[in-house]
Structure 1
Amino acid sequence: MWTQNFVRVLQGASKVAEQLARTQGPDVAAKSSQLSKHATELARLVPYFLNGEGSTPSTSPSAASEPVKTENKTQEKTQVLKEHVIAPTNPPQTLELKVKTEPLKIKLPEVEKKPEPLNVAPPVVDEELPRKVWEEKHVPSSPLSRILGFGGLAARLAVGTAAEIVRSGGKNGTYNALVSDSNAEKLAETLCTMRGAALKLGQMLSIQDEAMIPSKLAVALDRVRENAHVMPKDQLYHQLETELGDDWRSKFQEFDDVPIAAASIGQVHRATLLNGDRVAIKIQYPGVAESIGSDLSNLKRLVTYTNILPRGLYIDEIIRVGKEELTAECDYLNEAENQERFRELIEQSGMSTKYVVPRVYSDLSTSRILTTQLISGVAVDKAVHLSQDVRNSIARRILKLTIHELFNWRFMQTDPNWSNFMYNASTDTIGLVDFGAAREYPKAFVDDYFNIVWAAANEDENTLVDYSIKMHFLTGDESPAMKRAHVAAGMVVGEPFRSHEPFDFQKSKLTTRLGQHTEVFMHGRLTPPPQEVYSLHRKLAGAFLMCIKLRAVVPCRDVLEEVQRQYYS
C-alpha cells in the first residue's frame, strides 16, 4: 500500500537522524535526536492525516484528539496541522520534549494551471556580466550546522510528502509525492544554502536532459545551477583576510563586494589590480573542503534509507569517486596549475584564436582563493537565440575540443556546466573557465576507449563488446537483455560520427533514446564501470547536451577521423 511506502520514507528520515545521533558528539546527538523523534511522530500521524484510514496511532500526540480545522475558500481548501507536544520514548519523569512544526498548508486548486511559455530575451553577448541581486545566507561551516541542515531537509521532505499525499488522496503514489513541486523547491533551497558537495551534486543533475529527470525537479535544479546563495559580508571579508591578509584591500584599486557568480564551492567577484588589470577572484566558502566526506555520507544515508536509487547505480562507488574529485576541486592551487597547463596546450595547438583560457595571478592565489584574468561573454545556453551558423560554430568547436582533450592530450576539463563555456560575439571566441575538475587519463585506457568509440561509429558490435569486456564495462556474464541494451546504447552514442553529413542533434532525440535503456542498466549491471568514466562520461554527455541545447546541425565524423588517422597511421 502507498501508506506503507510513505511510512518507510518517514522512517528513513528518522534513521538518518538516528545514525547521526550515534556517530556524533553529545550536542549533535541531542539535536539529531529531536529530528529523529519528529520524523517518527510524523509516521504515527499518517492515519490521522487520512481521516481514519487504518488504525489510530497507539501513541498519539496530545493534540491528536482535536479535530483538524478546515477553512473553505473559493477554489481552495486549507488544512492546518497545529503544534503537537510529543512525549519521548521512556522519558524521565520531568522531561517533555516539545516539537513545534510549521503549519502544514495543503492547497487543492480545482484546475491545474499549465506553465506559461518562457519569454527569454536575446542575450547581451559583448558586455561583462551585469550586477545581480543575490540572496545572502550564512554558509553552514561547522559539522553540527551541516548535519542539522541535512536532518532538517529529511524532516521537511517528510512533511512535504505527507502534504502531497493528502492533497492527491494517495492517487499519485509515494514517489510522485516525494518529487512534488514543493519538495523539489525544499531540496533546491537546502542545496543552495548548504553549498559544497550537496550543491555540486544538484548542479551536476541540473545539466541532465529534461527527459532523464522529472520536470518539476529539473526546474528546481536549474535554479540551483543559477542561483546558489552567497556569503554575507562578514564571512566574505573573513575569508579574504585569512587568505590574503588583513590589508587585502590595499592589493586592489577596486573590489566589487557584489559577486558576479556563485557556485557549489565558491563565489566570484570582479576587481581591478593596482596596475589596472581587470580580474575575477574566486573565493571558497568556509568549511566546504572540510565537510566533503560528511556531506556525501549524509546524502548517501538519505537516499539509501528511502530506497530512491536502484542497485545498478553503485552509490558507494559514486560517493568514493565524488569525494576524490571534490577534494581536488577544493584545492585552488591545483586548479591554478591545471588552468595554466590547459592554456599552454591551447596555445601550442594553435587554437588560441578560437578559445581563450584566462591567465592566473599566482601572487594573489592560495588554496582557497584563485585570481585570474576577467573575460567577458555569455554561457553557451544563453546563446540559443543567435543565428544557426553561429550556434553551429560554437557547438562544433565544443565537440572538437572535447575529442581533442581526450584522445590527443589525454587531459580533460571534466565539468560541462554551461557557465564554464563563455561565448564572446565580438571576438568570436569561447572562454574556458573552472579547471578544478581537470584530470589526466592513462594512455592504455584512452587507447582502448577509442576502439569502443570507433566501433560504435562504424556499427561494429563485436568489437564494441570485446573492448567493453576488456575495459570492465561488462563481465561477459550479463543477461542477453543487458548485453543488447549496452550495444544499443553504444550505437546511439556513435550515431553523430557515422556519416559525413551534418548531424541534427535536437531532432535525433539522443538522450531520450539512451534513456530507454536506463532501467535495464540499473537492474542488469553486474559490475560498476571503470572509475575513469564517471568524469569522462559526464563531460561527453555535457558536450552532447550543449549541442542539443544550441540546436546544432553539424558534421562530426571528420573530427573522429582525425584521431583515427593518428592511431593507425
Structure 2
Amino acid sequence: MRTAQHMFEVLGELKGCAAKLGQLLAIYELALPPELAEPYRIALSQLQDAAPAMLPRTVHEAIAASMGADWRDSFREFDDRRAAAASLGQVHRAVWHDGRAVAVKVMYPGGRQAVEGDLEQLRRISHLATVFLPGADVKAVTEAICDCVREELDYAAEAEYQRAFAVAYADDPDFYVPEVVAQCGDVLITEWVEGTPLTRIVATGAQDERDRVGMLMVRFVTSGWGRHGLLYADPHPGNFRVLPDGRLGVVDFGACCAWPPEGFEELAIDYCKAFFTGGGPEQLEAATRRHGFVTFGRAFDSDALYAVVEPCSEPFKHATYRMTTPWLRKQVLRTTNPRLSNVVREMTMPAYFTPFARAALTLVGVLSQLETEGPYREEILRWMPMLAEALGTLEDPDPDRPVDLAAVREQRAQAANRQMSVG
C-alpha cells in the first residue's frame, strides 16, 4: 500500500505525462494480482479524482490569451465550474452565441513546460513499474508516453482530426462525433455531448449493455482506419458517452493519426500466418525480424516468445469470446514473467507502431473491464478483409487448450527431421 500511495503522491504533483500514465495504469490495475490490485485501485482512483482545478480567474486569463479580451462576446453563458478534467487542462460547459451547448477545453497555463518537467518526476517513480512490468524498458515507455502527451498539446491538429472524424461519421447509426465550433490557440470549443459516461457503465452497467458498448468501441477504433484512414488512439473510458438513442458519443481527438502506414497490412498478415495458419514460432520470428520488432543481428528464443504471445490471440479464434479481468491478468502475468526478461530485452518497437499499440492495449483493457462478449473476429474481418484467409476459416479450438512450450519445440524438431529425411 505504501508503494501505491507514494505513486499517487508523486503523480498527483504533475499535470502532464503523469496524468496520462495514471489513466493507463487505472485501466491495467485490474490485471494486477489481487494482493496488489486493491491498493493501486485506491491510489489511482484518488489520482483521477484529485487533479487540481484552475481558479476561475486563471481560466478567464487563459481564454483571453487565446481568444482575446472580448472572449465573453462569443458566449451567451459560461460556467466557471470545471465540468471535466483533461490530462493537460480542463473542460467547461458553456452556451455559444448561436445557442448551442458547447464544451470549452482550456489548456493549463504553462502546460507545455509542465510536460518537460514531468520527465524528471516520472524518473523518480519509474522503478515502481517493475512491480508489474519486469524486464520492460521503463525509461523508453516513459518517454513514449510523454511524446504522446506533447502531441496532444496541439489543439489546432486536434480540431482538424475531430472535423475529419465528424465528417466520416456524419449520420452514422452507431456513433456521434461532436462538431468543432471554434479553435483558438490553447482553447478548443466543440459541441457538448450529453449521455451516460462509459465509466458508469463499467461500474454498474447491465451485461448486455456492456457487451453492446464494448463491441461499439471495437467497431469505432477498427472502422476508423478501415473506412476513413484514421486511427483513434485513445479509447479511454473517459472519452465515451452513451447517448439516449443508443449511439456511442466520442470526444477528445488529441491522439489521432492517419492510418495505416505503409507496411502495416503486410505486418498484420504475417502475424496472422504465425498464429492462425500454422506458421508457428518460425513464422513469428520471421515476422518479428521483418517488421523491426527485434534489434538487427540480435538472437532471441522464438519458441518462448510464441508460447507467451499465442494465447493472446484466443479472442480471434472463436466466433464469439468474452474478455474478462482474469483473462487479461493471465496474459499480463504470462508476458511479464521474469523468466522472459532475456527475450523481452531483445525486443523493440518501431516508432510508427506506437499509436496502434496504445490504441490496442487501452482497448483490450477497457473491454476486459466491461467483460465484453462479442464476435471480435467478425468485427476485425469487416474492416480488414485482407485478413480473411488467415482469420475467416478457423475452427473454434478448445478454449482451455494450453500452449505447451516443450511440445512446440518437439514439433519443430520433428518437422526439421522430416525435412532432412526428404532432402
TM-score, structure 2 as length reference: 0.81
Q: Is the 8 A contact 1:478 1:526 kept in 2?
A: yes
Aligned AA for 2:258?
E
After superposition, the CA RMSD in angstroms is 2.8
User: Whole-Å Cα distance in 2 between the matches of residues 557 and 386 of structure 1?
Assistant: 24
Relative to structure 1, the CA distance from residue 368 to residue 508 in structure 2 (aligned partners, 3 Å threshold; closer, same or farther) is same
| One of 343, 354, 363 as aligned partner of 2:174 | 354
Match of 1:468 among 288, 309, 330: 288
Letter in 2 for 1:463: Q
Match of 2:88 among 265, 275, 292: 265
Higher helix share: 2
1:443 aligns with 2:249: no
* CA shift in 2, pair 1:539/1:405, >3 Å: same
Query: In 2 relative to 1, CA 226–486 (structure 1 residues): closer, same or farther, beyond 3 Å?
Result: farther
Tell me the SS of whatever aligns to 1:194: coil
Q: How many residues align?
A: 380
CA contact (8 A) 1:314 1:528 kept: no
1: CA distance, partners of 2:14 / 2:219:
36
Q: Counterparts of 2:189 and 2:128 in 1: how far apart (Å)?
A: 42
Q: Aligned equivalents of 1:306 and 1:504: distance in 2?
A: 28
Task: Report if aligned partners of 2:7, 2:125 keep a CA contact under 8 Å in 1.
Answer: no
Deviations 1:293-322 (A, max 9, x none): 232134225536998897842344334433
What does residue 303 of structure 1 align with? 126
Which amino acid in the other structure matches residue 414 of structure 1?
Answer: A
User: How far apart in 1 are the matches of 2:380 and 2:284?
Assistant: 16
Higher Cα Rg, which structure: 1
Per the alignment, do residues 198 and 506 of structure 1 end up closer, same or farther by CA in structure 2, a change over 3 Å counting? Answer: closer
- Among candidates 332, 335, 342, match of residue 155 of structure 2: 332
1:494-533 equivalent positions in 2, closer than 5 A: 494-500=313-319, 502-506=320-324, 509-518=327-336, 519-524=338-343, 525-533=345-353
In structure 1, stretches of 5+ residues that fail to align are: 1-179
Matching residue of 2:376: 556
Is 1:393 aligned to residue 216 of structure 2?
no
1:266 offset after TM fit, Å?
0.8
Helix, strand or coil for the counterpart of 1:463? helix
Deviation string 1:459-490 (CA, Å, 9 cap, x unpaired) is 6424333212211223574443xx33421343
Aligned to 2:307: 488
* Alignment match, 1:537: 357
Equivalent residue for 1:373? 191
Partner in structure 1 of residue 201 of structure 2: 383
Tell me the distance in 2 between the aligned counterparts of 1:457 and 1:381.
34
**Relative to 1, partners in 2 of residues 1:251 and 1:399: Cα closer, same or farther, differing over 3 Å?**
same
> In structure 2, what residue type is equivalent to 1:195?
K
Can you list the C-alpha shifts for 1:39-63, whole angstroms capped at 9, x where unaligned? xxxxxxxxxxxxxxxxxxxxxxxxx
User: How far 1:542 sits from its partner (Å)?
Assistant: 1.9
Q: Alignment partner of 1:492: what SS? A: helix
Q: Report the residue type matching 2:66 in the other structure.
A: E
Per-residue CA shift, 1:336-389, capped at 9, x if unaligned? Answer: 011111222223xx7x11111110012xx2231110000112232311433333
Q: Distance in 2 between matches of 1:496 and 1:568?
A: 15
Gaps of 5+ in 2: 390-423
Write the distance in 1 (CA, Å) between the matches of 2:133 and 2:239.
31
Asked whether the equivalents of residues 321 and 373 of structure 2 are also in contact (C-alpha less than 8 Å), the reply is: yes
Tell me if the contact between 1:321 and 1:531 (Cα under 8 Å) persists in the aligned partners.
no
- Contact persistence 2:32–2:132 (CA under 8 A): no
SS at match of 2:180: coil
Q: Structure 1 452/252 Cα, relative in aligned 2: closer, same or farther at 3 Å?
A: same
* Structure 1 residue 284: Cα displacement: 0.5
In the TM superposition, what are the counterparts of 1:417-456 in structure 2 within 5 Å? 417-424=236-243, 426-455=244-273, 456=275
AA at the equivalent of 1:394? V
List per-residue Cα deviations over 1:80-122 (Å, max 9, x = no partner): xxxxxxxxxxxxxxxxxxxxxxxxxxxxxxxxxxxxxxxxxxx
For residues 477-534 of structure 1, the C-alpha deviation after alignment (integer angstroms, 9 at most, x for no partner) is 4443xx334213432222111122x212127613423322213454432142222333
| CA–CA distance in structure 2, aligned partners of residues 537 and 306 of structure 1 | 18
Residue 341, structure 1, aligned to residue 164, structure 2: yes
What is the alpha-carbon distance in structure 2 between the residues aligned to residue 218 and residue 485 of structure 1? Answer: 32
Alpha-carbon offset, residue 548 of structure 1: 1.8
- CA–CA distance in 2 between the matches of 1:251 and 1:228? 28
Taking a change above 3 Å as real, the CA distance of residues 299 and 390 of structure 1, as seen in their structure-2 partners, is: closer
Counterparts of 2:11 and 2:121, CA distance in 1: 13
- Larger mean CA deviation between 300-309 and 410-419 belongs to 300-309
Q: 1:254 aligns with which of 68, 77, 85?
A: 77
Contact 2:201 2:210 in 1 (8 A): yes
CA positional deviation for 1:397:
1.4
Paired with 2:96 and 2:383, the residues of 1 have a C-alpha distance of 42
How many Å apart are 1:454 and its aligned residue?
2.5
Question: Could you list the per-position Cα deviations for residues 429-456 of structure 1 after superposition, in whole angstroms to 9, with x for gaps in the alignment?
Answer: 1111111111234533321331255233
Counterpart selection for 2:59 from 236, 240, 244: 236
- Residues in 2 aligned to 1:564 and 1:307: alpha-carbon distance in whole angstroms: 36
1:405 aligns with 2:221: no
| Contact kept? 1:392, 1:553, Cα under 8 Å | yes
- Which residue does 2:397 correspond to in 1? none
Asked if residue 547 in structure 1 is aligned to residue 370 in structure 2, the reply is no
Change (3 A) 1:344 1:413: same
Identity of aligned residues (%): 24
Q: Residue 225 of structure 1 contacts residue 263 of structure 1 at CA under 8 Å; is this kept in 2?
A: no
Q: Is residue 177–residue 251 contact of structure 2 (8 Å, CA) maintained in 1?
A: yes
AA paired with 1:245?
A: G
> Is the 1:473–1:529 Cα contact (8 Å) retained in structure 2?
yes
Moved more, 257-266 or 553-562: 553-562
Is the contact between residue 67 and residue 185 of structure 2 (CA under 8 Å) also seen in structure 1?
no
Does the residue aligned with 2:28 lie in a helix, a strand or coil? coil
Matches within 5 A, 1:116-131: none
Q: CA contact under 8 A between 1:451 and 1:464: conserved in structure 2?
A: no
Q: 1:492 to 1:401 in 2, by over 3 A?
A: farther
Aligned counterpart, 1:314: 137
Residue by residue, what CA displacement relative to the aligned partner does 1:241-287 show, whole Å, maximum 9, x if unpaired? 21122222222111111111012201000001122100000010111
- Structure 1 residue 218 and structure 2 residue 36: aligned? no
Structure 1 residues 272, 457: closer, same or farther in 2, change over 3 A?
farther
| Preserved contact between residue 407 and residue 450 of structure 1 (Cα < 8 Å) | no
